[in-house]
Structure 1
Amino acid sequence: MKEKFDAILVRPPEPIIETWYDYAESLGLGYIASYAREQGHSIKIIDAIVEKKTIEEVVTEVLNINPLIVGFSVFQVAFENTIIIAKKLREKGFVGHITLGGHFPTFSAKEILGNYGGDIDSIVTYEGEIPFSQLIESLKKDNCWETINNLIFKRDNKIIQNPINPLITNLDELPLPARDKFFEAFKVNKTISISASRGCWNNCSFCTVTAFYDVPRGSRWRGRSVENIINEIEFLQIKYAYNSFTFIDDNFFGPGTKGVERVIDFAKRLIEKNLNIDYSIECRVDDVDYEIFSLLKNSGLKAVFLGIENGDNNILNRFNKRATVTDNERAIKILESLELSINAGFILYDPFINLSELEKNIEFIKKYKIFDLPALLRKLELRNGMEYRKIIENSGLLIVEKNVTDYYFKDKSVNNFYKLIQLCLSNFIPSYFLFRELKNKKELSLEASSFFSDELNQSAIKIFEDLLQEIRLNQDLMEESKEYIEINNLAKQKGQYLYKTLKFTSLIKN
């Protein structure tokens, strides 16, 4: 019998270049789905990332179900694929409502509707649970959806922006997120995602989180109660018989003393209940305190995604981090002393970086062995809504092409360096992905994993330093230059050696 749903929620496929990390289930779609179901609507979730679905497979599935509405949760990197899917749906006769939601559509609504208003009916801005459910209700009844708050749409060549709902005050009142794609995601990540809060109380210039939660009325950081979080953990333990959790909060710590007290209360409650879980969190460096993190470790904390962002104070100031390199180092040392795993948030390149700042950063990276190959290539990503984008626009460095936004580096020697280092380090990418694959499959011993991680990172750093030195001597260094060819050949040889050795090591183990 043919499936029938009122609405389909879609996370579209993303380009392969973005798979530096493993994808978890989308709790954003999960919350929207569970809220809509609570209102009596039937919802289908298509997560093209965890289900490994192609554009054509998503299109076929939507057409087969033919819902009243399709809602896409869109990251900037997936926008082009989203538009391709929408256009194919229209070409194949789909007449239902198509809406987009998320940070990128919220801040790009006018441009999206201006360019693709014939395919996209509306944008759901900011928090989506209430407006998306109301959209379904309207489409089921009278089709008079144009008065729903948080919607932006196009009528008679005019962009209409409706009033914005206040932020949801009490997150405990939301139903737990739907986890329709839990098992597909779990095969890859081996952890259960939980959202304990929304928003961030800081104001980093490179981030859209603050802007996303700052426009609607309400507190831009809201946390669920400790009791509510503990109840979900116990529920998930029973349902899935697993004890490893990842908190996906933009900042696990709330603001001020109350934010710290909430975290302490959470850790103590975990210990009192003897839940025996392990978990990871994300936080700022100035959240890290030895006593608090000792307590968190005793309650099960194993890993911390730490917002370090850079190893130079000038760049940290440009990012409005309100933290220094000394703060970064203090936080790293505390976490290392507690033997907690560190996953570093790091942005090496911004449009204004110079060679001296690159040198300071590479020394920082060498000093603390918590970075991997992508850190040497990671640029500041430009997103609509971020404060730093306005600065770049005013500087004249912005590059805007169809569906692509990038920037030049102000220092011409950095422009050349970045082009060449991408070519050099591409020699290590096959080894990097093979290493991650073997590590995730547990086909490497701890000793082998540590060895290959060090070899890969140290080899890449050596190439980085050699090329930086040559650029210092000749900022117009070219691919045809003898000096560059020698460095690139060294990278190629080392990359091939690592790849072959990894292959051989995995064959021996098997």
Structure 2
Amino acid sequence: MKVALVGAELEENLGIRYMASSLEARGHQVQIIPFNSESDMEEVVRVVLSHSPELVGLSMVFTSRGREFCRLAEALRKGGYSGHLTAGGPFASFNCELLLRDFPAFDSIALGEGETLICNLAENLNDLSLIPGICYRRPDGSPALNPSTNEQDDLDRLPFPRRTTFHSYFGKPIASILTSRGCWRDCAFCSINAWYDRVGGKKFRIRSVDNIVSEMKELYDLHGVRIFNFQDDNFFLPDRSQALQRFESLRDKLAHEGVEDIAIAIKARPDSITRESISILDDLGLFRVFLGVENASENGLANLNRRQTVEQSLNALEILNDFDVHLAFNLLMFEPDTVMDDLLINLRFIERHLDNPFNFCRAEAHAGTGLEERLKAEGMLLGDYFGLDYRLKDPQCEAFHQVVNYAFFDRNFSDFGLHYFNMQVDFTYQLLRRFYPEVLSESLRGAVKSFIKETNLDTYKCLCQVYDFIESADPSNRLELQAFAADMRAVVDGRSRHLHSQGEKILNALNYAYDRRSQGSPGAWPARERAVEALQAGFASPYFGMGGPEQGAYTLRSTEASMGEADIFGLTPVPIPYHLFKSQLSRGAGR
């Protein structure tokens, strides 16, 4: 049978790619069709119709894109597609009966993980009652729900996801990979527990180290992959000692197979981080950690059911910064029970952690989450299944959220948002540092680190302005709030454009350093030339503390003033090789 799988492919969509390889292993023909934005709709319809698959599957993972996928389903039918149209993913699964009721274009909705399910569907289209874990429309139009027979417990039995093309950084292909599925916690903003309650099976499952190594070696040898982006919700195991043993085994077996000189990116909870485990992962090539801090207030952490402490977050940040990796985190500063003191605590946390890229937002009540269940029970849930909404209980905190959500919308959430761009600059620097440390100078490092701090400091200062305004404002005065929000947005957007321009020049300098890697020894730019070129590029000066622009944090020296200086940052132009950094770190590890 011919099958088309449609979904976002901004990076490798492992869900679709696992389904593709499972279908192909059973003799089906599969085409993966990217649908990254609504502007792709016409092309997706054209490709589907030109290949005439009997089965089309839509990967409806995110609530924010739910309506787009529904419009795509309607466009496929309008274009003349008459085959079976199904959808899967958390958004589709939790809203399966509503989708079948409201959108006749869909024939069925998958409830759980897709590998076995899509194969069963492809082989039983004439009798959907035979397929476990699917919601479909009966002849009378009413929805039927077939119970699931549990998820795949033995992940080693799954074929590796289908690989086609790869993104690359500095000539190094990158691949996404999973070593586990699920999670052992029950955070209020996550739907994993509800997912497995619905479809059955173990809530948390892991692949064997041998199976992981086999996939990595295949990617390494056949496709030249050198950067591995681990997409696990938490790369660690619940037991710290078992996690350490697993990482040691992974390191040793990869080395035995000749998989060396790689870089890895992971996600982690703060309470999983230990110095011993990070040391092993550093040996593996750790260059990026997305850390689930989520909230800096103990009250906020409890309300989000994180089951971690602020002290654990602080400890994790200290350890990871000691290893000098690209460390980014998110703050769910707003949740239904947030009070002004919680916001102040989070502001203090930002103030003390300007070194690392971060973002902030509200905890959303997605379908299937504990937060949705709680708000529904309290009669606070607003909106519909395409975008559930709520208001914070404290009027001042709700006013604070509305102002910053409007003022920071582009900086936080747009495709080119400054906070994501901040992460990109550090990500790029750390990859160069892993693979080509000889091209980096201390001046370039200073530019990157200063840019991160300057961006974070600007966000912090603007948030403080909002806090001061809200603390003395009347939250019921809508006109005053709207006027202030509009003013703040103009300020934030203006500063974002300026900072983004600085970051672009730093990225250009990083790429320039890479391009010139074969043209000299470490520190190939003579110090005097580098000073002039850096200033012409508009590099920010290093961050010197919390004093603000009046104390020079944002001041750029002129080219003329720097002509006689050896280095505009006052630092050595000679880069520190990574092996030397590691040896210095190990000598200080006993402190």
TM-score per shorter chain, which class? Answer: 0.7 to 0.9
Change (3 A) 1:279 1:144: same
Q: Distance in 1 between matches of 2:161 and 2:465?
A: 49
Change (3 A) 1:440 1:309: closer
Asked whether the 8 Å contact 1:479–1:485 carries over to 2, the reply is no
Change (3 A) 1:428 1:88: closer
Q: In the alignment, which of 350, 354, 357 is matched to residue 342 of structure 2?
A: 357
Which has the larger Rg?
A: 2
Superposition pairs of residues 63-212 of structure 1, within 5 angstroms:
63-75=49-61, 76-116=63-103, 118-139=104-125, 143-155=126-138, 156-180=140-164, 182-183=165-166, 191-212=174-195
Does residue 1:305 correspond to 2:290, yes or no?
yes
Aligned length in residues: 489
1:19: which partner in 2? none
The runs of 5 or more residues in structure 2 that have no matched partner are 433-442, 510-535, 539-591
Change (3 A) 1:488 1:43: closer
Change (3 A) 1:237 1:315: same
Does residue 1:472 correspond to 2:471, yes or no?
yes
Identity %: 27
Superposition pairs of residues 11-410 of structure 1, within 5 angstroms:
11=7, 23-49=10-36, 54-75=40-61, 76-116=63-103, 118-139=104-125, 143-155=126-138, 156-180=140-164, 182-183=165-166, 191-256=174-239, 258-276=242-260, 277-369=262-354, 372=357, 375-376=359-360, 378-401=361-384, 403-410=386-393
Q: Distance in 2 between matches of 1:404 and 1:363?
A: 31
The runs of 5 or more residues in structure 1 that have no matched partner are 14-22
Q: Please state how far the C-alpha of 1:396 moved relative to its aligned partner.
A: 2.5
Q: Distance in 1 between matches of 2:486 and 2:79?
A: 50
Change (3 A) 1:400 1:186: farther
Moved more, 93-102 or 182-191: 182-191
Asked whether the 8 Å contact 1:32–1:132 carries over to 2, the reply is yes
Q: Distance in 2 between matches of 1:504 and 1:164?
A: 53
CA deviations over 1:430-466 (Å, ceiling 9, x no partner): 7727767777888994433333322222112101101
Q: Distance in 2 between matches of 1:190 and 1:62?
A: 29
Change (3 A) 1:134 1:463: same
Q: Please state how far the C-alpha of 1:425 moved relative to its aligned partner.
A: 2.9
Q: Please state how far the C-alpha of 1:490 moved relative to its aligned partner.
A: 4.6
2:453: which partner in 1? 454
Q: CA RMSD in A?
A: 3.1
Change (3 A) 1:356 1:294: same
Moved more, 239-248 or 478-487: 478-487
Q: In the alignment, which of 7, 21, 33 is matched to residue 3 of structure 2?
A: 7
Q: Distance in 2 between matches of 1:61 and 1:174?
A: 28
Q: Distance in 2 between matches of 1:302 and 1:115?
A: 46
1:17: which partner in 2? none
Asked whether the 8 Å contact 1:226–1:262 carries over to 2, the reply is yes
Asked whether the 8 Å contact 1:7–1:68 carries over to 2, the reply is yes
Q: Distance in 1 between matches of 2:179 and 2:465?
A: 45
Q: Please state how far the C-alpha of 1:503 moved relative to its aligned partner.
A: 6.6
TM-score by length of 2: 0.76
Residue 191 of structure 1 aligns to a residue whose secondary structure is strand
Asked whether the 8 Å contact 2:172–2:227 carries over to 1, the reply is no
Q: Please state how far the C-alpha of 1:74 moved relative to its aligned partner.
A: 0.8
Residue 124 of structure 2 aligns to a residue whose secondary structure is helix
Q: Distance in 2 between matches of 1:56 and 1:352?
A: 44
CA deviations over 1:403-438 (Å, ceiling 9, x no partner): 221111111112222222234335757772776777
Q: Distance in 2 between matches of 1:82 and 1:451?
A: 41
**Given residue 204 of structure 2, which amino acid in structure 1 is its aligned partner?**
W
1:18: which partner in 2? none
